[in-house]
Amino acid sequence: MSDPLQLYVKTWCPWCVRAKAFLDAEGYRYEEIDVEASREDYATMTRISGQRLTPTLVVGEKVLPDFGPEELREFLARNCIVP
């Protein structure tokens, strides 16, 4: 069983929309964290990822910051993260 997925997003971000659509289509369950709704969540994301861009995916100790659909697909496969 994989660690829970946490997806840090900005709701208006087109890359975030694509990331959510990909995860939904593939059957992944994830916690969506809107970093614009909470300064604390934004601070957590920047501390974990070392940057301020979204989307950022966190799975256990693994972090994928500022990515597109192809990078997401590769990250999930490389780390054996399945729905």
Per-residue pLDDT tens digits for 12-69: 999 999 999 999 999 999 999 999 999 999 999 999 999 999 999 999 999 999 999 9
What whole-number distance in Å separates Cα of residue 7 and Cα of residue 58?
6
Q: According to the model, what pLDDT value does residue 3 have?
A: 84
Residue ranges covered by each domain of the chain: 5-78
Bridge partners for 9 per DSSP? 34
User: Half-sphere exposure of 44 toward its Cβ, with a 13 Å CA cutoff?
Assistant: 15
Structure token digits, residue 52: 């301020």
Q: How confident is the model at residue 74 (pLDDT cuts 50, 70, 90)?
A: very high
| φ, ψ (nearest 5 deg) of residue 62 | -95, 135
CATH superfamily of the 5-78 domain: Glutaredoxin (3.40.30.10)
Q: According to the model, what pLDDT value does residue 5 have?
A: 97
Burial class (CB in 10 A: 0-12, 13-18, 19+), 21: exposed
